[in-house]
Amino acid sequence: MIRNFVLLASEAVEHSGFGINSNILETNLINIAIVIGLLIYAGRGFLGKILSARLESIQSAIADAENRQKEASAKLSEQQGKLAQAKTEADNLRKKAETDAKNAADVILATVDADIARLREAADQEISTEQERVIVQLRQQVAEKALASVQSYFDRGMSEDTQIELIDRSIALLSSD
C-alpha cells in the first residue's frame, strides 16, 4: 500500500516536476490520496484496536443478550407453571367453597325445618293449653252460674211440697243402701 503511494508520488513529481500545480482537480485528488494513504498507514493499528474492541463489545453484548433471553425463557416457563398451579389451586378452592356452601345451606335448611317443627309443636301445645284453660274457665263460670241460680232459688225459698219431696227422696236413697 505504501509502495503504491510512494510510486504514485514519485510519478507525480517526475511528470510535473517539483513545483506548484495550478490545476485544482489534480492537486486535490493527489492530496486526498496522500491523506487517505497516511490515515491507512498510521491509523491501521489504532483503528484496528478500536474496531477489535468494538467487535468484542458487540459480541459480549450479543452473548449477554442471549443469556438474558435464556434466563427470561426459563423464568417465563417457571412462572407459567406457577400460574397453572395457581389456577388449579383456585379451581380446587372454588369447588371446596361451593361444597362447603352447599353443606352449610343444607345444615341451615335442616335447622330451619327443625325450628319450624318445634315452633309448630310449641304453637299446638300452647293452643291445647289455652283450650284447656278456656274449658276450665267456662266450667267454672257454668258452675258459678248454676250455684248462683240454686242459691237464688233457695233464697226465694222452697215450697213445702218441694221440701217434703226432697226429704222423701233422701230417705229413699238412705234406706236403699
For the chain, report the end-to-end CA distance as a whole number of angstroms.
Answer: 170
**The model's pTM:** 0.39
pLDDT tens string 14-38: 555 555 555 666 667 777 888 888 7
Which residue intervals of the chain are DSSP H helices?
2-16, 24-156, 160-176
Closest CA to 36 of 20, 47, 22: 47
Percent of the chain with pLDDT over 70: 80
Distance of alpha carbon 73 from alpha carbon 78, whole angstroms = 9
What average pLDDT does this structure show over 76-95?
Answer: 94
Distance of alpha carbon 83 from alpha carbon 159, whole angstroms = 111
47 half-sphere exposure, CB direction, 13 A CA radius: 7
pLDDT tens string 126-159: 999 999 999 999 988 888 888 888 777 766 766 7
Highest mean pLDDT among 7-11, 22-26, 163-167: 163-167
Position 70, amino acid: K
- Domain ranges for the chain, please list them: 2-152
- Three-state DSSP at 91 gives helix
